[in-house]
């Protein structure tokens, strides 16, 4: 039976949980989250660095911390993942990470096992193209292209073929993490380059505390209005703090 590599909430406990979506188009929707381990990008401010910043790697992160791979990830058979998902009796599933599309071949098999009763969302950085086998199961694509302040090189974070396809896909919603007002120049350039529909763009403040978010939202709201974009909060941070399994 195929296995998924999942993040953990504690050693040996997969990060599969029931909560309200905190960001973007589906904010407030009850959802089952399945957090996968592993990422092809390494953002310096990432709030799930335990999915990729393991001992022995040379990736930079602002908190300077490294994580034990064995404690923070595990391989789980898809039949067991399906059972854990079904236990919540919730029709919306969100595959997140890390970067879930690194394991989309196995995710396609998981979705086939689950059947058609679920609304499937993915959260992706937009640098990996959807494969046909998994694409057939996906109802909503939440894309968060990374900007220069993430610390990733442009050739790593910008996949022109993938972003062009996502921008033309009516299932797609884009979310840009904004750390400072000057980030808007890069957002607008990407919107024009890939013809991303303005109505499908959300601006989200970077931050992992309510205080950080509220401070940035004061000026981000004006930038959203000036540029015609929507703004999204991070509801889960206000409700639960920066914690796993929420």
58 in any annotated domain: yes
Q: What pLDDT, in 10s, does the model give residues 48-84?
A: 999 999 999 999 999 999 999 999 999 999 999 999 9
140 in any annotated domain: yes
How many C-beta atoms lie closer than 10 Å to residue 230's C-beta? 16
Distance CA 117, CA 246 (A): 23
232 in any annotated domain: yes
Q: What is the value of pTM for the model shown?
A: 0.97
Retrieve residue 154's tokens. 């442009």
233 in any annotated domain: yes
Q: What pLDDT, in 10s, does the model give residues 5-47?
A: 999 999 999 999 999 999 999 999 999 999 999 999 999 999 9
How many domains are contained in the chain?
Answer: 1
176-202: average pLDDT: 98
Q: Which residues on neighbouring strands pair with residue 92, listed in sequence order?
A: 119
In sequence order, what E strands does the chain have? Answer: 3-10, 13-14, 16-20, 30-35, 73-77, 92-96, 119-124, 140-143, 172-178, 201-205, 230-231
245 in any annotated domain: no
Q: For a pLDDT cut of 90, what percent of the chain falls above it?
A: 100
pLDDT of 1 above 90 = no
Distance CA 168, CA 196 (A): 7
Q: Three-state SS for 100? A: helix
Dihedral angle computed from the Cα positions of residues 116, 124, 184 and 160, in that order, rounded to the nearest 10 degrees? -100
Q: What is the CATH number of the domain that holds 189?
A: 3.20.20.70
246 in any annotated domain: no
Q: Please enumerate in sequence order all residues whose Cβ is within 8 A of that of 150, keeping only pairs 6 or more positions apart, or say none.
A: 41, 43, 44, 45, 157, 177
Report whether the peptide linkage leading into residue 98 is cis, meaning its omega lies within 30 degrees of zero: yes
227-233: average pLDDT: 98
Retrieve residue 57's tokens. 């790697």
Distance CA 215, CA 220 (A): 9
124 in any annotated domain: yes
Residue range(s) defining the domain that contains residue 84? 3-240
Whole-number mean pLDDT of the chain? Answer: 97
201 in any annotated domain: yes
166-193: average pLDDT: 98
How many C-beta atoms lie closer than 10 Å to residue 224's C-beta? 19
Distance CA 236, CA 213 (A): 12
């Amino acid at each position: 039976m195929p296995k998924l590599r999942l993040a953990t909430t504690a050693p040996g406990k997969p990060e599969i949980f029931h909560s309200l979506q905190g960001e973007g188009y589906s904010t407030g929707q009850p959802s089952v989250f399945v957090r996968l381990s592993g990422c092809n990008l390494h953002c310096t401010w990432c709030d799930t660095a335990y999915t990729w910043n393991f001992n022995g790697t040379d990736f930079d992160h602002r908190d300077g911390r490294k994580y034990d791979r064995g404690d923070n990830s595990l391989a789980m058979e898809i039949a067991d993942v399906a059972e854990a998902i079904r236990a919540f009796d919730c029709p919306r599933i969100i595959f997140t990470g890390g970067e879930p599309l690194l394991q989309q071949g196995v995710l396609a098999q998981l979705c086939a096992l689950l059947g058609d009763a679920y609304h499937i969302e993915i959260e992706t950085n937009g640098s990996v193209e959807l494969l046909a086998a998994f694409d057939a199961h996906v109802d909503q694509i939440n894309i968060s292209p990374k900007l220069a302040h993430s610390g990733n090189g442009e050739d790593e974070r910008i996949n022109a073929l993938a972003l062009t396809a996502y921008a033309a896909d009516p299932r797609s919603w884009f979310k840009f993490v904004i750390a400072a007002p000057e980030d808007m120049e890069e957002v607008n350039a990407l919107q024009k380059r890939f013809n991303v529909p303005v109505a499908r763009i959300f601006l989200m403040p970077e931050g992992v505390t309510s205080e950080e978010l509220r401070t940035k939202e004061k000026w981000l709201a004006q930038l959203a209005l000036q540029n015609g974009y929507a703004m999204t909060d991070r509801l889960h941070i206000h409700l639960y703090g920066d914690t796993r399994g929420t």
